[in-house]
Amino acid sequence: MTIYVGNIFYGLGEDELRKIFEVMGKVDTVKIIRDKKTGKSKGFGFIEMPDKKEGMEAIKALDGKTVSGRNLRVLQAHSTKEKVKV
């Protein structure tokens, strides 16, 4: 499952974010979104966890958690693509 993580401290790296989520279960990928020109963090990113149950537990446990002085906003990511009914 894909998890959105917002309000990330700008100095937090992907490895540090991975460690926070790995406490809750297996993490496949971590991606902090960065500005294309400057390379600086935009303060949000996405985590991929293969086990939905672990992902939901991570959301419940980490939403609002204070990391580096900022309260994380953690929720299930939704696709931006519209689903078309056939």
At 70, which CATH number? Answer: 3.30.70.330
Q: Tell me the pLDDT tens digit for each residue of 43-79.
A: 999 999 999 999 999 999 999 999 999 999 999 998 7
Question: Using CA atoms, how far apart are residues 2 and 10, in angstroms rounded to an integer?
Answer: 21
**Residue 44: which of 55, 60, 57, 31 has the closest Cα?**
31
| Strand-strand pairing, 73-76 and 2-6 | antiparallel
Residue 20 in any domain: the answer is yes
Residue 24 in any domain: the answer is yes
Number of structural domains the chain divides into:
1
Query: Which range of residues forms the domain containing residue 58?
Result: 2-33+54-76
Tokens in use for 52?
């939905």
Whether 16 has a pLDDT exceeding 90, the answer reads yes
